[in-house]
Structures are given as C-alpha cells and as structure tokens.
Chains A and B, each alone.
Chain A
C-alpha cells in the first residue's frame, strides 16, 4: 500500500478522487443502452407449409422450455391459445428465446428473421385461437388521433411507462421497459397480449381505433425534440435535480477544495 499512500499525498489526489467518482456516477447513470433491431410485423396469411416449418423451428428452439407440444412445463407456460401476436411480440423483440430466467426477460436482438418468426407464429396460432398479428393499417400512427391517445396513455399506461414512454421500475427487479424501440406493431401486440407483468388491454375495452391513437401518441412523443439539449430520460424534475446535484454540486465541491487549499509557499527574498 506504499504506492497508494504516496499517491494520495499528491496535491491533486483529492480532485482526482472527486472527478473519478463523478465520472463513474455519470457513466452509470447514462447507461449503455443496447441497440436492438426492429422486427417488422408480418402479414397474417399462414399456409400449411408455414405451420410445418414453424413446428420444426419450435421443436428446435422453444420445446425445451415450453414442452414438445407447447403444452407448457414447470419453467414455462403453455402456448396453446396465446396466438400469433404473442409469438410475434416475444420472438420479434428478442425476448424469446430467453437467455436467462430472471425477474424480467430483457429486449435483445432477435435470433430469427421475419419469415421464421411468422412461421413459428403460424404454428402456435394453429394450436388454437389467440389474437392474430395486427394489420399494418391497424397500427398505422398516421391514422391515429394522438390527442385521444395521449389521454388514454396518461390514464392507463403512464403510471408504469412514464408519460413520455421512457419506462420505469416495478417491484422485485421487474420494470416497465422504455417504448423507444418498440415498433407500432409491437406496441399493439403488447396491449392485446399483456407480456410479462404488463396487464391486458383487450379490443373490447380499448378499441382498435383507440389503440392506434395510443400508438400515434407514443411515436409522436418520442420524435419530439428536446429544447434543452439532453432529454435526461424525460422522467421530469427528478432527473434534472439529480444532474444538478451530482454535476453542479460536484463541480462546486471541487472549486471549493481548490479555492481553500493552502497556497504554495511564495518565494522569499532571502532564500
């Protein structure tokens, strides 16, 4: 530890520690958000060939958890009746196949291409019922009433996903993800299928037109510019206050240390 004692006696050691701490906190706060590819919605026409190919893919990749006939096991639920929309959402966002069973399965780069996802979806849909993948018109934000969507979003979605869709924390390590990467189709699918902890908003409670309005609100909101520079996750005054404290007060602490530090001895004439 000699080197450490020597190091911390340097005049600049104190500043270096404060700066390093600030940098670490800043980096941790900014977080490295992994980029995920957008999965596009497929159309819903499913042939017998698709179903057969889907079954093959299912057996290779999904059956170890969900069972050979998708009947479910101790570690994964039954997929009978969940429908094509659920498959398209879970596989298309890369959440399935899950890499790690934890509080919540995160979004990642999907391992299947669009066609393969459609085939698996066709197979799961063939097992019985469930909501289909929405059509591109159903999810087209250009046809949605974003004012109505905003009202519905604030009443029913904002408590978890934040008013600008930035996401937020839930209990026990679960979280409501940010909606920045979700495609309009995925937003629709999440509403009708209720993935993980998310509740279900079925079509008779929130009509398809109202869902499209919500999609219009979400997509418009994330395209809003940030007049102050960084949006800080758009979680409101909390983020701004945090930055104010860490950066502003941190800077003032460094400045105060410097100003009050004992000055080096000035040269004396008789030296």
Chain B
C-alpha cells in the first residue's frame, strides 16, 4: 500500500533491493524522474488471485450477507412484536433500540460484505485509456469561424448601429425584471419593528404567573426576573418583542446615562430580553459581575452601564425600558422603548417612524 509513489525504474530483478517508500517522504537520491511502472508482461497486467485466500474471503463476505439477512428478518419481527407508537415511553425506547440495532446489522452487513468482496476478490488490471484530443480539428474550427463571420455580415449587425444599440437597450431592463418581482415578497414591516405593547402605565407582570410586581417586593440585590406587559401575558407575538429582563442592581454602582435619570427605580432596571445581535433571549445574568450574557453567540452586556456591549457580536446595547412605580406601588413602564428592540433591520437607522 505504500509504493504508489514509487519513482524507481527498477527492473523485476532489482525490485528486492529497493526499499518501499512512504507517501510524502523524499524520493531516493538519483531517481528524480517519474516514470511509468513496469508490469510483468506474462500476466497481461492482471493479478491472479490466490484461490485458497479468495475462498476464505468469499466465505467471510457471505457470512456478512447472511448476517444482514438475519438483521432484516429481525427488524420485521421487532416491528411487529414491539410497536413503539403504542404504550408508554419505555416501550418506545425498547422499540427504538431493537429497530435501530437490527437495521444497523442489515446495512452494515451489506456494506462490510461488499467491501470485502471488492478488496479481496475483485482483480484490478492496470489499463491505459486512449483518449482523443479534446479540441476540434483545425478545419472544423476554421469553418465555424467562417460561418459566424458570414452570418454577421448578412444580418448587418456590424453596419446597422441603430438596430444594434436599440436591441441592447431593449434587453437591459429584462435583466432587472426579476428584481422588481422580489417586491412581492411582502410589504415592509413599517412601524411594527419599532414599537412594542409597552406604554406609559403598563404594569410589569411576571412571565409565567401573570402577577404584577411591586417595587417593594423585588427588593433583593442581585435579583432578576423576566417580566412581560400586563394584558399581553398570553400573546406570544407581543411577548416576542416585549419580553423584559428586570434586574435589581446596587444603585450606587449604576452608571446612569444622561437623560435616563428617571428610568430606574432605586436600582431596579429593565432591559429588553431580546439580544440585539440576532434576537436570542439574552438573560444569563451574573450577579457577581453584573454581566448579561446571550447564550447563542456570547454577546455580553454590562447591566450597570446601560447594557453596553462589552464582548461579542452584538452591535448595540440592549434597549432600556423606562420604568416607574404607580400609586399602588406596582412597577410600571413609563413609556415604550425609545428605540427598536431586537436585531438590526434595514430601515432601523432612519428617522423615527
């Protein structure tokens, strides 16, 4: 198996002295040129099998085919005896195992049998395939050129410039037509991506229970909870854009951005849960570092600094939801998000819709 780069032009008498080479090792000194291997003429290039070994290989391959047959029968039997779709999940497990193992036997038996057949029983004479040149004959090519030139002359394509140019003009828009058809993919999202259901006075309710949350109840430093807009607890479309991560961070560590002084309630701060990269739920919060992490691409946001991106592919901070407290002490939003939540879209940077 190691002599396929054999560069020696050893005659059969010399062959015993030439060490076998490993692929990639340098050629023995003095034998720089690649020359075709010489085959013993008297076998006609074909190898002859050792009949005893061939019989053995035949038996092994046949045994694998037999194993495959047994597996096939076993598959049918298991399918009939242990149908996985009825009964409990343990039954399904047994069914999966038995069907999987028997089908493996079927396919593997055939594969191994065929491979043994090919490797041990098929002889491989080396043959040379004679090929014609790929290009046409010079006469054919000359004739073709002649026809082409004649056709061009007769059609007047060379002389009639006006026709030629208007034809080009006519075909140019044709190439653009498929692009126009792309418009039918749907209307632009317009304002849908810019707004969520949050508005001034919407209470923050706990995702999962739908209960509103008082600022006095959410009082543990290092606390976190996912909240959704009240009234949209069960509306998945609204939650998809309106899910909010509510954190309780130490208020003395909070770096409040100018203009956002009233957006938090004594260290209780709300960020969109939707990562600004591709929209995964960014909600891995480490209370020791106050980092918010997105599980998909490891975008990391600093909860103390307006969710500034400190690592990862996200291009912008998580939008912050301005929150306050209503007359009964419940946490409310004081407006919608001031910027679109979630990943980028084409029109995002334009003036507010």
Residues of A at the B interface (CB closer than 8 Å) are 8-9, 11, 148, 151-152, 154-156, 159-160, 168, 170-172, 174, 176, 194, 196-202, 204-206, 210, 225-229, 255, 258-259, 261-270
Interface string of B296-339 (1 = CB under 8 A from A): 00101000000000010000000000000000000000000000
19 interchain pairs, CB-CB under 8 A: A152-B208, A156-B207, A156-B225, A168-B284, A170-B293, A171-B311, A199-B247, A200-B221, A204-B214, A204-B218, A210-B208, A225-B93, A226-B93, A263-B124, A266-B47, A266-B50, A267-B50, A269-B43, A270-B42
Dominant SS among interface residues on chain A: loop
In the assembly, what is the distance between CA of A41 and CA of B192, in Å?
51
Is there a chain A Cβ closer than 8 Å to B154's Cβ?
no
Partner-A contacts on B (CB < 8 A): 1-4, 22, 40, 42-43, 47-50, 89-90, 92-93, 96-97, 115, 118-119, 123-124, 206-209, 213-214, 216-226, 247-248, 281, 283-289, 291, 293, 295, 298, 300, 311
Q: Which residue of B has the minimal Cβ distance to A9?
A: B22
Q: Decide if B218 touches A262 in the complex (CB within 8 Å).
A: no
Q: Which of B119, B220, B293 contacts A200 (CB 8 A)?
A: B220
CB contacts (< 8 Å) of B119 on chain A: these are 259, 263
Among A151, A171, A200, point to the contact of B222 (Cβ < 8 A): A200
CB distance from A200 to the nearest CB of B (A): 4
Residue from A202, A225, A258 in contact with B223 in the complex, judged by beta carbons closer than 8 Å: A202
Q: Is the CB of A171 within 8 A of B123?
A: no
The CA-CA distance from A263 to B121 in the complex, in Å, is: 11
CB distance A11 to B1 under 8 Å? yes
A229 and B49 alpha carbons, distance in the complex (Å): 45
Give the distance to chain B from A17, nearest Cβ to Cβ, in Å.
14
Total A-B contacts with CB atoms under 8 angstroms apart: 138
Residues in B neighbouring A151, C-beta threshold 8 A: 207-209
Please, which residue of chain A has its CB at the minimum distance from the CB of B51? A267
Is there an interface contact between A204 and B48, defined as CB atoms closer than 8 Å?
no
Does B289 contact A197, Cβ atoms closer than 8 Å?
A: yes
On whether the beta carbons of A205 and B213 are closer than 8 Å, the reply is: yes
> Please, how many angstroms separate the alpha-carbon atoms of A178 and B216 in the complex?
32
Partner of B209, one of A152, A160, A196, A201: A152
* Selected contact of A155 from candidates B2, B22, B207, CB within 8 Å: B207
Question: With A152-B208, A194-B287, A266-B49 known to touch, is A199 a contact of B43 (CB < 8 Å)?
Answer: no
Contacts of A160 in B (CB 8 A): 284
- Check B226–A156 contact: CB distance below 8 A: yes
Report whether A210 and B209 are in contact in the complex, using a CB–CB cutoff of 8 Å.
yes
B281: which of A159, A227, A228, A255 is its contact (CB, 8 Å)? Answer: A159
Contacts of B93 in A (CB 8 A): 225-229
CA of A170 to CA of B298, assembled, Å = 9
Instruction: Tell me the minimal C-beta distance from B207 to chain A in angstroms.
Output: 4
CB distance from B240 to the nearest CB of A (A): 13
Q: Are A155 and B124 in contact (CB under 8 A)?
A: no
Q: Are B43 and A201 in contact (CB under 8 A)?
A: no
Q: Given the known A-B contacts A152-B208, A159-B281, are A197 and B286 also in contact in the complex, defined by CB atoms under 8 Å?
A: yes
Shortest distance in angstroms between B28's beta carbon and chain A's nearest beta carbon? 15
Cβ of A9: which chain B residues have Cβ within 8 Å of it? 2, 22
- Give the distance in Å from the alpha carbon of A270 to the alpha carbon of B123 in the complex: 17
User: In the complex, are the beta carbons of A262 and B219 less than 8 A apart?
Assistant: no
Within the complex, the shortest CB–CB distance from B191 to chain A, in Å, comes to 28
The distance in angstroms between the C-alpha atoms of A255 and B116, with both chains bound, is 12
Bound: A168/B289 CA distance, A: 17
Q: Given A148-B208, A159-B295, A160-B284, A268 and B43 touching (CB < 8 A)?
A: yes
In the complex, how many angstroms separate the beta carbon of A80 from the nearest chain B beta carbon?
Answer: 15
Report the separation of the CA atoms of residues A168 and B281 in the bound assembly, to the nearest whole angstrom.
Answer: 15
A148 cross-chain contacts in B, Cβ below 8 A: 208-209
Which of B4, B287, B311 has the most C-beta atoms of chain A within 10 angstroms of its own C-beta?
Answer: B287
Which B residues are in CB contact (< 8 Å) with A227?
Answer: 89, 92-93, 96
Q: Is the CB of B48 within 8 A of A267?
A: yes
Contact A168 B295 (CB under 8 A): yes
Q: Are A262 and B225 in contact (CB under 8 A)?
A: no
Task: Say whether B286 contacts A205, CB under 8 Å.
Answer: no
Find out whether the CB atom of A205 lies under 8 angstroms from the CB atom of B287.
no
> Is the beta-carbon distance between B284 and A270 smaller than 8 angstroms?
no
With known contacts A171-B289, A194-B287, A205-B206, A265–B47 Cβ distance under 8 A: yes
Assess the A205–B217 pair: CB atoms within 8 A.
yes
Give the distance to chain A from B218, nearest Cβ to Cβ, in Å: 5
With A148-B208, A268-B48 as given contacts, are A194 and B286 in contact (CB-CB < 8 Å)? no
Check B293 against A198 for contact (C-beta < 8 Å): no
User: Quick one: given A156-B225, A266-B49, A268-B43, are A171 and B300 in contact (CB under 8 Å)?
Assistant: yes
A170-B89 in contact given A206-B225, A266-B50, A267-B48 (Cβ < 8 Å): no
Contact assessment for B291 and A204 in the assembled complex, using a CB-CB cutoff below 8 Å: no
| Residues in B whose Cβ lies below 8 Å from that of A226 | 93
CB distance from A233 to the nearest CB of B (A): 15
B1 touches A199 (CB 8 A): no
Q: Which residue of A lies closest to B50 (CB)?
A: A267
